[in-house]
Amino acid sequence: MTHKQHPIGSGFTAASTADEVLAGIDLSGRNVVITGGHVGLGLQATRALAEAGASVVVGSRNPDGATSALAGIEGVEVSRLDLLDPPSIDAFAARYLDSGRPLHVLLNNAGIMAPAELVLDARGYEVQFATNHLGHFQLTLGLLSALRAAHGARVVNTTSGATRICDIRWEDPHFATGYDGHLAYAQSKTANVLFAVELDRRWAGHGIRGYAAHPGIVVGTHLGNSMPAEQVRAMNLAMGLVDESGRPVIDPGSGKKTPQQGAATIVFAATSPLLDTIGGVYLKDNDVSPLDEAPDPDVQGAELIRSQNVVPHSIDPRSAQRLWELSERLLKA
């Protein structure tokens, strides 16, 4: 398979922080929309981008809570957005378009992970696929005219190394049978990458480039809030992400990062001039990830975080086009 997954030698490392990636970059006059930009990695990205001069709109289901979390960061506003509610997504996009501002960066960052039991939204769609992918797909389409008006825009989807363990379940994407919360999460993260690949193919001619950014493994980002707390603790301990006292283990070289390090690849995707002529790629550790052409299908758990390079099914152009068409049908259903 012909692909673009070739590291570019960015000069940054797995240990680089968002502030280090943005050093010397002036984002004055640039407009950013970020989902979930008030917690976890999103909060770190919002802060770093705003401090570099960007005007940032944070989409949140809880605007009051988001406003409180973002207090003291200049250049940030909050607008209500529920990624499981199509009218809420349309209303958010309409408010932004009505403002008349071009959109230079859209960070599709919010997400949920691994509910213990199958949960469906009002349309009957599995909630991780619906939140992590489909809601962002609808939002991106809704903001297309603002992205085009920027005359040079980027769409960044926050993904995960979990994409290695699950392709799209084309015949049963909503897990009517055989539900496994971690597989459903992995499917949604694969969708994030395929979405970036096809977006770049379709929209690069309009000056809009797509990226999937893997931040690494960061403990305490609120991503696992849908899982029982005891299950999260046990999983983190088993994977070596925390020590016996529950403190995060930081080892960027093996993917275990601080929130500031985790946000770095997201803002690298959003702003780095090194990517001006590159799009439709999966990024990790502040660079383009190499392709793991022969991944071990049985690698999971603790071993998975040691091998986070992108895999073929996540960037397959035929799958990317198929997912786009499926997503359009699901939005119309």
Any idea which residues carry the catalytic annotation?
185
Look up residue 189 and give its two tokens.
Answer: 């993260």
Look up residue 121 and give its two tokens.
Answer: 């939204």
Q: Please report how the helices 317-332 and 181-203 are oriented relative to each other, as an axis angle in degrees rounded to 10.
A: 100
- The CA angle 288-156-205, to the nearest 5 degrees, is 85
Q: What are phi and psi of 14, to 5 degrees?
A: -65, -25
Element (H, E) at 48: helix 40-51
User: What letter does residue 107 receive in the DSSP assignment?
Assistant: E
Neighbours of 23 (CB within 10 A): 9
CB 200 within 8 A of CB 209: yes
- List, in sequence order, every residue forming a beta bridge with 79; answer none if it has no partner: 59
Which strand ranges, in their side-by-side order, compose the sheet holding 55-60? 76-80, 55-60, 31-35, 105-108, 153-158, 208-214, 281-284, 287-288
Q: Which residues, including other chains, have CB under 8 Å from residue 74's CB and lie 6 or more apart?
A: 50
CB 229 within 8 A of CB 301: no
Which single residue is written with the structure tokens 């979990």?
162
- DSSP string for 266-284: HHHHHH-GGGTT--SEEEE
Beta pairing, strands 76-80 & 55-60: parallel
Which single residue is written with the structure tokens 């259903």?
333
